[in-house]
Structure 1
Amino acid sequence: MKTQTITKAFLIAGLMNLTVLIWSRFFTNKTIPEFDPVVLSNFGLLMIVIWGIAYIAVAKKFYEVKWLVGVFAIEKFIYGCAWTNWMLHNNLSDVFKKDTMAGVFYAIYGINDWLFFVFFTFVFVYLSRIKNN
């Protein structure tokens, strides 16, 4: 895979995390934290933004931080698992009834996390094979 393509994917991962600002209406949407007050509290949403900034920060130098890319994969795995668990034990339509933007957020955030878990894992393995850090 080309370095440019990987860099773009890091930027997209970061921008996707930053969209939490839109879904949460800059942390004023009370429905998101109401339905998952542990993972998606306003503090949790802020940390999603911080992770997004971290992805953007290393986008052009990802090949120098293999182990950080591994941390990104673990982080996405944890969020993906949290979302899957939430989906198995909650009713998404209840969120949509209360707030459409929150419903859309809950419907897609875990899919995004699982996709970028695969991407970050791929990059970590790729970097592990091309250089021994």
Structure 2
Amino acid sequence: AFILLIAVFNVVGSLSMLIVEKTIDIKSLKNMGANNNLISRIFLYEGWLITFFGIVSGIVAGLTLCLLQQHFGLLRLSNVPGAYVVDAYPVIVRFWDIVTVFVVVSIISLLTVFYPINNLKKKLKFAEV
């Protein structure tokens, strides 16, 4: 949960910085006739793309570590063989655990993208007045 919280702040921060850096591009799009909804959607899709690749790479890395642990026993419980019933930390990979992690992290990540987008919408509305 703590790592997910850090990831949420990372996504919000990076998307907010991206919006600040692209202010000139936003003005250019507005001058070419783009409305506020189109500009907001661009950043919304970009935030979703960033979170999707983060989720997929995290699941792939986690599965890789779990499979390595299952086959090679990287994390040993003791250096003395036979000290415990099992020598290596047991790991079981379940399909529904992967699906649950994907869905929960996707929902949380997708909701966090809306915060910088709402700030952008407020800025765009303020700039119109």
TM-score (norm 1): 0.32
Question: Which one has more relative contact order, counting CA pairs under 8 Å at least 6 apart?
Answer: 2
Q: Which has the larger radius of gyration?
A: 2
TM-score (norm 2): 0.32
